[in-house]
Homo-oligomer: A and B are copies of this chain.
Amino acid sequence: MAVYTHLAAEDLAALIAAYDVGELVSAKGIAEGVSNSNWLVETTAGRFILTMYERRIETSDLPFFLGLLDHLSERGCPVPRTIHDRGGAAFRHVNGKAVALIEFLPGVSVDHPTPEQARAVGAALAKTHLAAADFIPARANALDISHSARALAGCGDDALAAIDPALPEAARIAGQLANDWPRDLPEAICHTDLFPDNVLMLGDRVTGMIDFYFACTEAMAYDLAVTHAAWAFDLAGERHAPEIGTALVEGYQSVRPLAAEERAALPLLAQGACLRFVASRTEDWIATPADALVTRKDPMAFVRRLHFYESAGQTAFE
């Protein structure tokens, strides 16, 4: 949550002139994105989000991410389209960094979703899965269960136990799950990170799904499982909100009914989803000094969800 780069107004005006979007009226660096800098830009023609890719995202992946936005947007999904420059390019470079101009969408991210909101999010997710069916490029999930298992094992039990005595057990579950992982579920391009702060809403309506920079080819039911883990709990993962989870799955199935094998796999997929966040948060935890000014996200918030899904099995999704 930061703006990592200072962009001079003069450079910004020159950049905007490369697009057919009128003249620069205002630009505010906004506190969104963890691996890129973002500005809310207003021109005489409208409002836009300018994203500068700072780290983690490879420029070679940008045609995939930006093309996906256009593909989903053209098919009526509430996804911001990419604004192409006068030469047709989806991204440009400023001071050696890649930047893209993206449609601004209204809406705010909810903290305490209602069942009606969760239902709308489930339906919107299913709609992107169907719309992505004919998106040609594929992209492997770099953060799949095998990666989570390796990452946690790589930390070592001592380092894990130093964070929390329950973490080494989570690492063992990850190793087991990597072996048992269901491999033949129907796939599509999936968001795989659809937390509430990546969804914009107005009332019960989803007005925007944003931050597709983890999008990859994955089992569609896994994407639903990620979204369930992200929405149907309090932040600390201590309290399950069954009415939210139920509404999310119902909303999803109102657009794309799950096959029997997808439904059967949900408890395992949800455990894998939890371990993906346990793994990344644990690595960040170890890499970030306790007195650093950035907030470390607690991996235990997803270890608690993991154990919930282990115990609850299918009932978590009913």
Residues of A within 8 A of B (CB): 1-3, 8-10, 12-13, 24-32, 40, 42, 104, 106-112, 200-202, 292-294
Which residues from B are CB-within-8-Å of A40? 28, 30, 40
Contacting pair B28 A28 (CB below 8 A): yes
A-B contact pairs, 6 of them (CB 8 A): A3-B31, A8-B110, A25-B107, A28-B32, A28-B40, A29-B31
Query: What's the nearest-Cβ distance from chain B to residue A7, in Å?
Result: 9
Chain copies in complex: 2
Q: Which of B12, B32, B201, B293 contacts A29 (CB 8 A)?
A: B32
Contacting pair A109 B9 (CB below 8 A): yes
Known A-B contacts A1-B3, A3-B1, A9-B111; the reply to A25 vs B106 at CB < 8 A is yes
Contacting pair B10 A106 (CB below 8 A): no
Which residues from B are CB-within-8-Å of A1? 2-3, 29
Q: Which residue of B lies closest to A294 (CB)?
A: B293
Q: Which residue of B lies closest to A114 (CB)?
A: B10
Contacting pair B26 A28 (CB below 8 A): no
Q: Which of B31, B108, B111 contacts A31 (CB 8 A)?
A: B31
Complex CA gap A108/B42 in Å reads 10
Complex CA gap A271/B30 in Å reads 35
Given A10-B111, A26-B104, A30-B31, 7 new contacts (CB under 8 A): A1-B2, A1-B29, A2-B31, A8-B111, A25-B107, A29-B31, A30-B30
Contacting pair A30 B27 (CB below 8 A): no
Query: What's the nearest-Cβ distance from chain B to residue A211, in Å?
Result: 13
Which residues from B are CB-within-8-Å of A292? 293
Complex CA gap A127/B25 in Å reads 23
Which residues from B are CB-within-8-Å of A110? 8-10
Which residues from B are CB-within-8-Å of A201? 9
Q: Which of B29, B112, B200 contacts A30 (CB 8 A)?
A: B29
Contacting pair A28 B27 (CB below 8 A): no
Q: Kindly name the residue among A29, A32, A107, A108 whose own CB sees the greatest number of chain B CB atoms within 10 A.
A: A108
Contacting pair A25 B202 (CB below 8 A): yes
Complex CA gap A111/B200 in Å reads 33
Complex CA gap A27/B12 in Å reads 22
Q: Which residue of B lies closest to A29 (CB)?
A: B31
Known A-B contacts A1-B3, A3-B1, A294-B293; the reply to A112 vs B8 at CB < 8 A is yes
Complex CA gap A40/B42 in Å reads 12
Contacting pair B30 A108 (CB below 8 A): no
Q: Which residue of B lies closest to A11 (CB)?
A: B111
Contacting pair A108 B294 (CB below 8 A): no
Complex CA gap A111/B294 in Å reads 28
Q: Which of B8, B42, B107, B202 contacts A106 (CB 8 A)?
A: B42
Which residues from B are CB-within-8-Å of A109? 9
Q: Which residue of B lies closest to A1 (CB)?
A: B3
Q: Which 7 pairs of residues, A with B, have the shortest CB-CB distance?
A: A29-B31, A8-B111, A9-B108, A3-B31, A28-B30, A293-B293, A25-B106
Complex CA gap A107/B29 in Å reads 13
